[in-house]
Amino acid sequence: MGAMPQDPFIREKFTRERTAAKKLAAEYFERFPKDRYPTEVESWRHLQSQNIEITMKRLRVPIDAGG
């Protein structure tokens, strides 16, 4: 039996106040652009503390620009 394949995606979870959460997501998209890392907000939810929990998903390795 071989080893299980590694998930090609990384998921990072953040909890921030609403304004800070929006800023963090924007910075994440700048750092890991969609065209190279297929970055997305996988999920988000409001917490009772008025914070937002965001799970960001992106490829571990960028897509080669050469195709």
Considering the domain boundaries, does residue 3 fall inside one? no
The β-bridge partners of 59 are 9
Strands 40-46 and 9-17: unpaired
30 within some domain? yes
* Tens digit of each residue's pLDDT (9 = 90 or more) over 5-63: 788 999 999 999 999 999 999 999 999 999 999 999 999 999 999 899 999 999 999 99
Q: 57 near 11, Cβ under 8 Å?
A: yes
Q: How many CA atoms lie within 13 A of 67 on its CB side?
A: 0
Q: The pTM is what?
A: 0.80
Contacts of 35 (CB under 8 A, 6+ apart): 63
Give the structural domain span for 39. 14-59
Q: Does some domain include residue 2?
A: no
Work out how many domains the chain is built from and give that number: 1
How far apart are the C-alpha atoms of 50 and 56, rounded to whole Å?
Answer: 19
